[in-house]
Structure 1
Amino acid sequence: MQKRTYVLLSLAFLLVFSAVGAVLHMGGHQAMAKEKHKKTLVMGTSADYAPYEYIDTTKGNKIIGFDVDVAKHIADKLGYNLVIKDMDFNGLVPALDSKRVDFVMAGMTPNAERKKKVDFSSTYYQAKQLVVTDDPKIKTIEDLKGKTIGVQLGSIQEKEAKKIADKVDKVHIEKRNKVPDLVQEIMSKRFDGAVIEDGVAIEYLNKNSDLRAFEIPDSATAGSAVALQKGSGLTADFNQQIAMMKKNGELDKIADKWFEPKSKKKAEKKSIVDFSTIMPSVPYILKGILTTLKFVVVSILLGFVLGTVLSLFKISKVRVLRWGADAYTSIFRGTPLILQLLIIYNATPQLTGYKIEPFLAGVLTFGLNSAAYVSEIIRAGINGVDKGQREASMALGVSYGSMMRQIILPQALKNILPALMNEFITLTKESAIIAVIGTTDIMRRAQIVGADTYRYFEPLITAGIIYYVMVMALTVLGRMLERRMSRGD
């Protein structure tokens, strides 16, 4: 009885911790929304596209940039507070289509495919297309023969890269989710170059003396516009404000602030590994621990409770319950976790109209997925308990529910505790994939720091150390529970 009480107290502690985390999470949103207007507009963006939108990790979690300043100006003039949501670029149009955001500003160029799903304002900035490379021998598109060039997935630069491939033989095109990924691939010598628009490329050229660029001849002049929901009543208002900003010089003023070329002074040669470069951004990465812990704790609780129910279904004498539990386990163990995450996050608004938040989508995905594995672990533990225990309970007239709750499950839990802790540790590590839906956990923050500093080894190793410490803490907790239960306390 004491063992059962101890386990329940442990779970209660986890529940309290998650509740506290949820309160802090809500408090953060309230603070963000505390502005001078009563109405709010939600802007979707991909904050890896400096100087359009990016995060200065040395100064906190704030998204800044050209698009942000333009959006703030327009929102203020229209009488709205501005709330910004960060996500992958290729998820922006789906987010707008599913009404998760009111508008999108991310250096996005209107094209026929996008216009089928969303409306666009008039253009507010014109850009040129460049090939960025670190190879001094590549000076024209003809020099790209037999080379590999990168483009951002879902961007206008994809079409420019295809035009190059049509003109030059044996040009291989690779796609990545983010522009910083393209630059990193160039620096890692996996790409020979990348197609990036001038307003973005200038930031990388200013910060890295090894990079150079040339303009693509006859390239389409990309015009950035605001993407809005289909049939949005805000389109006319945005067009009016953009026209006014062009007329009074406000757009030029903001553009000069963000697109002004910086000194071409050659950067100092840094050592291969230099953690001092990212030290100012380490507090930013550490803030992701709270997000990761909240996510992991709630997912573990959901997975354990649902897994227990499924395990009881699997040993039930009711065939329908056994079949349903086995089918559930088969589906969640037989499909990739990231596929389940994207289905829940992207398909839920399409099927139900409910705008599911990234945190909730992640918790549901990992909780439901973990339940499939936990159910098998608990089922094995229950089957491992001596059948004489059940027979004795039945002979004494103990009800099935009391027998499972007070006799069988406590013994099973003692036997399967190492396997359960292993599942929880695995979930903690796998939680890093929630970065793909824009949740600012440890991994996402490490990637942002890498994009901001152009150094990836140091922030990723820092993230690895944080995950390792968390896993070791879980391991110690598991051993403490094992020792406590083995003593029969």
Structure 2
Amino acid sequence: MGKNKMGSLLATLLVFFTMAFGMTGKASADDNSLQKIKEAGVLKVATSPDYPPFESQTTINGQSQDVGLDIEVAKQIAKDLGVKLKIMNMDFGSVLVAIQTGKADMAIAGLTPTDERRQSVDFSKVYYTGGQTFLINKKDVKKFKTAKNLHGQKIATQTGSLQNSLAKKYFDDSTLSSMDKTPDLIFSLENQKVDAVGIEKPVAQAYVAHNKNLAMIDAGYPNDAAESGKAIAVSKGSTALVNAMNQSIDKIEQHHWTNKYLKEAGKYVDDNAADTSMMRYWHYFYNGFLNTTLIAVIAVVFGILLGVLLVLMKLSAWKLLAWPATAYIEIVRGTPMMVQVLLVYFGLGALINMPALVAGIIAVALNSGAYVAEIIRGGINSLDKGQKEAAQSLGFSKVDTMRFVILPQAFKNIWPSLGNEFVSVIKESSIVSIIGVTDLIYQLNVVRADTYRGVAPIVVVMVIYFLMTFSLTRLLNHFERKMNHE
């Protein structure tokens, strides 16, 4: 598929650890995959709605809905099983982890059943076979009449995609580059940073249909049909579910519904492209703003409470308290937040079923707590030791000294640093989009995919982030001035 697999390595590591701790389901001969779905009455499907016409979002009756070829296939499978369909949107790098950790029953996201992926998941039969193409600028049609003319040129593909692997294999004499998102590739092509973009045929057709400056040429890869087939992924050992999905796919092929689904998906693509003004998508950005604000506020509040607890433990004379606090702080500060978010959602989520938004808040709060703890520790260490001695000479206990003398003065000194942490949380919380939390970055990617516009949605989100952080900074400065006058 033409989507990035940046999260795939992290996903593999995550699954390894969850398996090590016994948190993943059994891939045994005792297969109850189909029975569990029917008993629950719900088919949970993981997808990444930023790849039209396979999957995208559109506004229907004022509500955002998932549409596309893959969504229609999932609907048919759910209908044949006699259960409700629940779409779980997330970053493409997380869809396979979702089924490996039991968060979803199947993943349908334009997945190509490669040998590498078959090592960790099972696949249905192929339900769609497309082709590989190159997008070029229309003015270069005479220059690049066929793919052979691209040898020695600048070619870009999506990171970790099938197109990336094919370009490395067949165009090793060209200058190859990769990016995470398809809209970024198109933007680079339009600005002549690259000469061609390797992309899947249906996606290329959608771009050409809605961008008069682009054209496409066949990639001419051998065994193209076999390499670009799309299938549905499920957890290892889910034979009963695979058989049921294959029956639905047979029905779809028998009635030639794939072409029908693609035609319907094309209508939604046309509708989205008909009005690409950012005002049309205001509710996307508004919902992203609300979720980003909610995550930041709750994460900072609980982060401060956790930070106070951690610093008290770290400064304690009891090693049984100091060592775990020190270890926690070092581990959290020494690992990427992306890994922490994945671990909370898929690792902890394998034990406790929690929504993506809740998991995102928990992960960001746990991360913030470690940094706040060090900020508070620095504030405490900055105080004159005479403060503690004076309090104790007045008969204050250690607890009262810390509560009424040390911490109030420390917080006054570290207020600017805490403010910076709050601002950082607002920006860094964007990483939760990888598990499907509809924050500003998640909505940004959806709007870019739906409108085929590369820059305008970015500008809108930049302005929103700036207004958020600027307003917060002014508010924090106000309280700082009040504290300095007291």
For residue 322 of structure 1, report the CA deviation from its aligned partner.
4.0
TM-score by length of 1: 0.81
Hey, what's the Cα distance between the residues in 2 that align with 1:60 and 1:150? 35
Hey, what's the Cα distance between the residues in 2 that align with 1:337 and 1:120? 31
Hey, what's the Cα distance between the residues in 2 that align with 1:328 and 1:109? 39
Hey, what's the Cα distance between the residues in 1 that align with 2:269 and 2:446? 22
What one-letter code is carried by the residue in structure 2 that aligns with 1:81? K
1:295 is matched with 295
2:131 is matched with 128
- Taking structure 1 as reference, are residues 57 and 447 closer, same or farther at Cα in structure 2, changes over 3 Å only? farther
Hey, what's the Cα distance between the residues in 1 that align with 2:482 and 2:406? 18
2:386 is matched with 388
- Taking structure 1 as reference, are residues 173 and 400 closer, same or farther at Cα in structure 2, changes over 3 Å only? same
For residue 320 of structure 1, report the CA deviation from its aligned partner.
5.1
Hey, what's the Cα distance between the residues in 2 that align with 1:334 and 1:236? 44
For residue 207 of structure 1, report the CA deviation from its aligned partner.
0.4
Is structure 2 residue 265 aligned with structure 1 residue 258? yes
Hey, what's the Cα distance between the residues in 2 that align with 1:344 and 1:261? 35
For residue 211 of structure 1, report the CA deviation from its aligned partner.
1.0
| C-alpha contact 1:449 1:459 (8 A) present in aligned 2 | yes
- Deviation by residue 1:222-249 (Cα, 9 ceiling, x = unmatched): 2222222222221111111221222234
2:104 is matched with 101
Equivalent residues, number = 438
2:155 is matched with 149
Hey, what's the Cα distance between the residues in 2 that align with 1:346 and 1:57? 29
2:252 is matched with 245
What one-letter code is carried by the residue in structure 2 that aligns with 1:299? A
TM-score by length of 2: 0.81
Hey, what's the Cα distance between the residues in 1 that align with 2:263 and 2:456? 33
Q: Bigger CA drift: 197-206 or 394-403? A: 394-403
| C-alpha contact 2:103 2:346 (8 A) present in aligned 1 | no
Q: Bigger CA drift: 359-368 or 232-241? A: 359-368
RMSD: 2.9
1:14 is matched with none
Hey, what's the Cα distance between the residues in 2 that align with 1:110 and 1:210? 33
For residue 180 of structure 1, report the CA deviation from its aligned partner.
2.8
| C-alpha contact 1:202 1:259 (8 A) present in aligned 2 | no
For residue 154 of structure 1, report the CA deviation from its aligned partner.
4.0
Structure 2 regions of 5+ residues with no counterpart?
A: 1-38
Task: Answer 1 or 2: higher relative contact order, Cα 8 Å, separation at least 6.
Answer: 2
2:45 is matched with 43
Structure 1 regions of 5+ residues with no counterpart?
A: 1-36, 269-274
- Deviation by residue 1:260-294 (Cα, 9 ceiling, x = unmatched): 8999xxx99xxxxxx97322112211210111112
2:174 is matched with 171
For residue 452 of structure 1, report the CA deviation from its aligned partner.
2.1
Q: Kindly report which structure 2 residues correspond to 1:330-369, keeping only aligned pairs within 5 A, or say none.
A: 330-345=330-345, 357-369=355-367
1:286 is matched with 286
- Taking structure 1 as reference, are residues 381 and 257 closer, same or farther at Cα in structure 2, changes over 3 Å only? closer
What one-letter code is carried by the residue in structure 2 that aligns with 1:161? A
Hey, what's the Cα distance between the residues in 2 that align with 1:335 and 1:362? 16
For residue 61 of structure 1, report the CA deviation from its aligned partner.
2.6
- SS in structure 2 opposite 1:445? helix
- Taking structure 1 as reference, are residues 260 and 310 closer, same or farther at Cα in structure 2, changes over 3 Å only? closer
Q: Bigger CA drift: 385-394 or 302-311? A: 385-394
What one-letter code is carried by the residue in structure 2 that aligns with 1:202? Q
Hey, what's the Cα distance between the residues in 2 that align with 1:420 and 1:465? 23
Hey, what's the Cα distance between the residues in 2 that align with 1:304 and 1:262? 45
Which of residues 107, 119, 142 in structure 1 aligns to 2:122?
Answer: 119
- SS in structure 2 opposite 1:49? coil
Which of residues 81, 84, 88 in structure 2 aligns to 1:85?
Answer: 88
Is structure 2 residue 435 aligned with structure 1 residue 432? no
